[in-house]
Homo-oligomer: A and B are copies of this chain.
């Protein structure tokens, strides 16, 4: 049984459940930032997933990337599975812009002031798009 670690509850909001992963929206009001968390207990590396689950993971990475490309027109998608601080396997799929706070460097670990209103708006746009795609 997979139990979502508390740290994800504190730093992101639920969007929907995919076949392999929970899809969540990270608390970043500037760069739309998705998290894919495979519903598999005790997995910390992509290579520990079964071959079938690895196939699902890359499919869901593409799905998340396409959501961001369609809705937020980023200059680049950044995909990363780091897990140095939160070992439970999770994949970041992030909309990056040439004028964002960390460009062209990595955006992980950079600070961002909270802004619930902007985050609400990102969440609404993604949920509307998801409802159109999944219906």
- Which A positions have Cβ atoms within 8 angstroms of B? 44-47, 51, 54-55, 57-59, 61-62, 65-66, 69, 76-85, 87, 96, 103-106, 108-109
Is the pair B105, A105 in contact by a Cβ cutoff of 8 Å?
A: no
Is the pair A84, B58 in contact by a Cβ cutoff of 8 Å?
A: no
| Copies of this chain | 2
In the complex, what distance in Å separates the CA atom of A77 from the CA atom of B57? 17
> Nearest B residue to A81 by beta-carbon distance?
B79
Is the pair B83, A76 in contact by a Cβ cutoff of 8 Å?
A: yes
> Nearest B residue to A92 by beta-carbon distance?
B80
> Nearest B residue to A107 by beta-carbon distance?
B106
Is the pair B44, A76 in contact by a Cβ cutoff of 8 Å?
A: yes
A80-B78 contact given A47-B66, A55-B55, A58-B46, CB 8 Å threshold: yes
CB distance from A98 to the nearest CB of B (A): 9
In the complex, what distance in Å separates the CA atom of A76 from the CA atom of B45? 8
Is the pair B104, A106 in contact by a Cβ cutoff of 8 Å?
A: no
A45-B65, A46-B65, A80-B82 known, 12 other contacts, Cβ within 8 Å: A46-B77, A47-B62, A47-B65, A47-B66, A54-B58, A55-B55, A77-B81, A79-B81, A80-B106, A82-B106, A84-B96, A84-B103
